[in-house]
Structures are given as C-alpha cells and as structure tokens.
Amino acid sequence: MNAPAVEVSEHTNRRSGGRLGRKALRGAPIASFPTLVRQIPVYQMVPDEAVELIHQESLSILEEVGCEFRDDEAIALWKAAGADVSETRVRIDRALLMELISKVPSEFTLNARNPERSVRVGDNNSIFVPMYGAPYVRDLDNNRRYGTLADLNNFHKLAYMAPALHSSSSIICEPMEIPVPKRHLHIIHSALKHSDKPFMGIVTSKDRAEDTMAMAGIVFGEDYVRDNPVLVAITNCNSPLVWDATMLDAMKVYARHNQPLILAPFALCGASTSASAVGAVAQVNAEALAGVAFTQLLRPGSPQIYGQFMVTVDMKTGAPMGGTPEAAQMMYLMGALARKYRLPWRTSGFHVGSKVNDAQAGYEANMLMHAAILAGANYIWHSAGWLEAGLTCGYSKFATDCEQLVGWYKYAGGLPFDDFKEAMAAIREVGPQGHFLGTQHTLDHFESAFFIPSIMDFNSFEQWKAEGAKDHDTRGREKARNMLADYEEPKLDEGIAEGLKDLIALREEKLPDSVS
C-alpha cells in the first residue's frame, strides 16, 4: 500500500481526530435528505438485443483496436494480467475484461465526516452532487467574473445547507487568485471546513491526489481512509481511447486507498466520437470499461463508478451543447449497460449550455434530469450551479437547482399509499359541494402532501407585480443570499482544524507559486 508522500507526523499527535473524535464533528442541525432510494421503475429505451449489440461491439473495440494507457506502471500491470500490449496500446481479451469488471461491488457506502450524512451509491440508490470545475461565477449581483476562494466557500456553504444535495463536490468554482500548485489545498480545506457531507478529490497530479488523501486522513483517521470510501474522484478518458498519465496517476492513489473513482470518458459526440449516438455509446462504453478494469488491477474489489460525460457538438460552430435529446437518449443506453454490468454509474443532471438562469437553462436541465432519474443513475453530478457548458457556476442557478432537486427527490421516491384509507374517509366526511381545507386529513398532511417551492412564484399577477415583479433568476439570487446569511458552520474538532492548517502551511512552503 502506498502511503501519502507528505509529512504529517509533526501534527498528528496534537490532534484529537480520527474515528474516535467524530462525535465532535457533528455541526448545526441542518436538514439533510438521506440517500434517495428510487421507488419508480427504470426506463429502457431499446430492447435487450440492442444493449447486447453495443456491449459486444465495445468488447470488440478493446480486443481489436485497443486502448492507450500512457504510463509505464499501468503497462506493466496489464502485461502481468495477460493483456496484449504493444508499447502503450493495450488490447484486452473480453474474458479478462469481464472478469475484472465483475470484481467491482454493485453498491458501497460513501462516508461523511458527520456519519448522519453518509450515503449509499449503487443499485437503487441515487445521490445528487453539485457542479465541478467552473473558472467563472455569475455572482449575487448577476455579474460574470472569475471565481475566488470566497465564492468557493460560499458554494460549499450552500451545498451544506441544501437538503437534497448529498455531497459538497470540491472544485465547484476555481479560486483563481490562488496559485495553481497550491490551489488544491484550499479547495479541499474549504470542502472539509464548510460542510460535513462527502466530498470529491483532486486528480490533476499524483502529489495533489496524495495531499487530498493526507487531508482526509487528518479528518477521518489515516487508517480509516486506507480502506473506507470518504470521497469520490473523477478521472476522464481522453476520447478516443486514451487514458493519459495524469489520470492514471490519480487512479493509482485513490484506488489503492479503496476510494471510488468515476471512470468517465469526456466525449464531444461528433468530434471525439463518430457522429452517431449509438456509435458514440459503443466507444464510450469501451473506454469506461477499460478504466474500470484497470482499477481492479490496482486493488481488486475496490468500489468504482462507471461513468460518462457525453455531449453533442453543434456542427455549425463546434461548441458543446447541453440538454439535447441525443444526450438524454445516450444516458438511457449507458444506464442499461451499467445495469448489465451491475456497476454503480454516474451521469450529469442539470448540465446546460445556457449563459444565464433562463428558460433555456430550465428546458435543458429538465431534459437531462428526467433522463438521469428514469435511467436509474446512481451518482447524479452537476446537479447544482452549472451554466455555460460548465464554464460558469451561478449563485441563482445553484439555489434554483437545489429547490428543483427537492421535487425530483419526491418524484423518484414514488407515490405513497400509506394515507389512502384516510383520504377516502375524508371524501365521505366532506361529501358533495364541501371543501377539504378543515378536515383532519388535510391538517395532518398539508405540509407534506405536495411539493411547495419557495423560489417559484404562483401568486396572482397583481401580487407578483406588487412584490417587485421579480423574475426567477432574481428570486434565485435572493434565495442564495438569504441562505448564506443563515449559514452556521459545522465545526471541525479543534485539533483536526489545526492539523489541516499545519499540513497546508507545510505543503505551501514546499510548493512553487507557478507551474513550471
């Protein structure tokens, strides 16, 4: 087992962290929904024969064309496993591939620093996770500008306060004022400090992944994070058919610590794949399976997440598009394949191309989230804040997305029948021409019977106008501002907080201020 290549010994004796100190890590009693256990059936868009056709073609791609693994250790591992290796090209026999895939558990627990926020990933479980990686923000004054650490802190606070978000993500927006070599330390610190939900790791270098694990070790205990999932990290295959050294380095760090990775090809369909929805899925499936299989060479039985990021390209401009029907259709196909392999799988929820939180953003978001829910996705990423194909995170979009997630949570939870008998009794109580507002059944259920959003406006025109005629985008910014005003930090144990600060200071002394 490779230990993190950072020095932590000088502060570990001073802290009272690890599993023994976790009772002190519980923060303010913020409402938080448990894992969403879907109570509605999945929808399969094509017959089983079509799923099998795509599966077989994906296996043929890996056997005949192969996939690049641009890392010496990865090549050595594939050779030892019996794959056909030529320089960096790896051709994987289908029997070997499926044997490795079968080792991945179909479900796992993702542990939070507050155990009450821990969630289950896989099978019939779904979790919602905010966006990741935006260099820009659309701020509380509706200005588009570079993100800052203060913005990142704010988004982690909003993620903590949103009951239907199950994770804080990590790089919701980039803190652009912090030098790149040191930026990851402050990103992970913000996620751990401002929220007690699960978070996401850094994958841009081996050292940064190891720093992430070292920080997680301070919070959870170093022994604990060698075996128990506490974070999820994203690794992207460079379509077509290349796993590069940076992604493989991150895989090696996280998989060997039993931390789940999302193995997700980054596919611009029509540019890095063929201009065919089913052709793109066959290629992306091959790329994802190759990545999942490699993790099992690193640590057999480690939990992993089969993934995809597939957007179509505007053939007029080359720009990626958001919530298109083809993106939704491909999501259904990937869901069917994930069920075939019994793999937890990730997709994107509110991934949109719109520049602002407008009608286009709503249409695009609905197209994709509906597909994600009905396709049975387990890790629904980019579920809050996403604008402009991921270049921007919007405060208003974040708040309005979080409200919509409450509705989607209820939708996917199915129709309860537990009060059906009482509802029928209420009809008999009221009879013809009466009303139900004063019945005991209504008094008992009015708060929970129906989704009651606070940002969406259902008032009369006159009342809406009297209250300022505010559009949805404006109300979203107001909601975000009010949430931040009400935020109370879920305090870390004092020793753990000091341990994180010590590690950050130690690493910042050693890291350069710019990328060489």
Higher pLDDT, 29 or 349: 349
Distance (Å, rounded) from C-alpha 69 to C-alpha 72?
A: 8
What is residue 309's predicted lDDT score, i.e. its pLDDT?
85
Q: What is the mean pLDDT of residues 371-400?
A: 97
Tokens 């000088």 -> residue: 10
How much is the pTM?
0.92
Residue 386 one-letter amino acid: W
Task: Name 312's Cβ contacts closer than 8 Å, sequence gap at least 6.
Answer: 268, 269, 270, 320, 321, 324, 326, 327
- Alpha-carbon gap, residue 215 to 224, rounded angstroms: 12
For the chain, which domains are there? 69-413 (3.20.20.480)
Say yes or no to pLDDT of 16 above 50: no
Residue 126 has pLDDT above 60, yes or no: yes
Average pLDDT value for residue range 298-307: 97
**pLDDT for 15:** 39
| DSSP letter for each residue of 83-94 | -EEETTEEE--H
Q: Give me the pLDDT at residue 231, please.
A: 98
Count of beta carbons in the 10 Å neighbourhood of residue 453: 12
If pLDDT is split at 50, 70 and 90, which confidence band does 320 have?
confident
CA distances from 377 to 97, 115, 120, 121, 318 (A): 23, 23, 13, 10, 28
Q: What is the pLDDT of residues 212-238, one digit of tens each?
A: 999 999 999 999 999 999 999 999 999
CA 256 to chain centre: 21
Percent of the chain predicted with pLDDT > 70: 94
pLDDT tens by residue, 433-456: 899 999 999 999 988 889 999 999
- pLDDT higher than 60, residue 10: no
Per-residue confidence (pLDDT) for residue 317, from 0 to 100: 76
- Average per-residue pLDDT for the chain: 92
From CA 87, how far away is CA 57, in angstroms rounded? 24
Looking at residue 14, its pLDDT comes to 34
The answer, yes or no, to whether residue 6 has pLDDT greater than 60, is no
User: Comparing 9-13, 137-141, 428-432, which segment has the lowest mean pLDDT?
Assistant: 9-13
Q: Place 29 in a pLDDT band, splitting at 50, 70 and 90.
A: low
Q: What order do you get walking across the sheet with 242-243 strand by strand? A: 84-86, 89-91, 67-69, 242-243
pLDDT of 495 over the 50 cut: yes
Tell me 239's DSSP state. T
Q: What are phi and psi of 48, to 5 degrees?
A: -55, -35
| Token pair for 475 | 């109300």
pLDDT of 106 > 90? The answer is yes
> Quick check: bond before 240 cis, omega within 30?
yes
Could you read off the pLDDT of 501-513 as tens digits, one per residue?
999 999 999 999 9
Q: What angle do CA 284, 289, 292 make, to 5 degrees?
A: 130
Q: Per-residue pLDDT tens for 34-56?
A: 999 999 999 999 999 999 999 99
Return the pLDDT at 366. Answer: 95
Tokens standing for residue 479: 């909601």
Bridge pairing between strands 379-381 and 345-348: parallel
What's the rounded Cα separation, in Å, for the pair 377 and 187?
A: 27
- Average pLDDT on 157-174 reads 98
Q: Which residue has the higher pLDDT, 192 or 3?
A: 192
Share above pLDDT 90 across residues of the chain, in percent, rounded to a whole number: 86
Residue listed under structure tokens 């056709």: 53
Per-residue pLDDT, averaged over 477-486, amounts to 98
pLDDT-derived band of residue 17, with 50, 70 and 90 as boundaries? very low
Q: Which residues pair with 238 in a beta bridge?
A: 242, 266
What integer is the mean pLDDT of 117-127? 98
Q: Are 155 and 147 in contact (CB under 8 A)?
A: no
- Residue 353 main-chain phi, psi, to 5 deg: -100, -10
Q: How far apart are CA 11 and CA 109, in angstroms?
A: 29
